[in-house]
Amino acid sequence: MTAADHHPPIVGSPLQLLWPDEEATQAYARRLAATAQIRNAFLALRGDLGAGKTTFVRHLLRALGVAGRIKSPTYAVVEPHEGAPAPGGGAPLPIWHFDFYRFNDPREWEDAGFRDVFASTGLKLAEWPDQAAGLLPTPDLTLDLAVGADDTRQVTVRAHTDRGATLLAA
């Protein structure tokens, strides 16, 4: 794997967002949730501990109709969820929330069936994707979160695929 593989080409211009509070996080999550493309997307979330990655995931899951307590996957690497069916009906939406913070054994990628997850339809979300660099497919969108002054979140959204470009335009 080369550095280029870990930083796939960017499609279009990055989007710079400022989230002054969690309501802004929620508003963006709702925008993405309202798209058809989100239902088969892979979003990579980068940023230091406390940057707001899990918070964004929780708002996105809620906006997609996930009910009940939303556990953070830090110890399990992945938490599966079910979102509401698409408008018009059909099957529930499979969602996988990965946190690769403690991921350090590449064998787990095969053993735990992560390859199959990424090959199947549904929404995949990954915190700390760089910890699984070389194993993960190209994300449709990368969100880079950073804490700014007054606890605001500065977010850079980049598209790496056509689906990502559509999501970026949402």
Q: Which residues bind ligand ADP (CB under 6 A)?
A: 19, 21-22, 24-25, 47, 49-55, 127, 151, 153
Smaller CB distance to ligand ADP: residue 106 or 148?
148
Q: Which ranges constitute the DSSP H helices of the chain? A: 3-6, 22-33, 53-63, 107-111, 114-119, 162-168
**In this structure, is the dihedral angle defined by the CA atoms of residues 159, 161, 163 and 169, taken in order, positive or negative?**
positive
Smaller CB distance to Mg ion: residue 69 or 107?
69
Size of the site for Mg ion (CB under 5 A): 3
Verify binding: residue 54, Mg ion, rule CB under 5 A: yes
Q: Please, what is the minimum distance in Å from the beta carbon of residue 49 to Mg ion?
A: 7
∠ CA 85-118-26, rounded to 5°? 50
Q: Please, what is the minimum distance in Å from the beta carbon of residue 104 to Mg ion?
A: 17
Residues of this chain, 141-160, that bind Mg ion according to CB under 5 A: none
Which residues, listed in sequence order, are joined to residue 16 by a DSSP beta bridge? 156
Interface stretch with Mg ion, choices 15-23, 28-36, 126-134, 138-146 (CB under 5 A): 126-134
Question: How far is the CA of 41 from the CAs of 1, 81, 123, 153, in angstroms?
Answer: 23, 15, 5, 23
What type of residue sits at position 122?
G
Verify binding: residue 25, Mg ion, rule CB under 5 A: no
Residues 6+ apart with CB under 8 A from 21: 151, 152
Q: Please, what is the minimum distance in Å from the beta carbon of residue 89 to ligand ADP?
A: 32
Smaller CB distance to ligand ADP: residue 52 or 139?
52
Binding interface with Mg ion (CB under 5 A): 53-54, 127
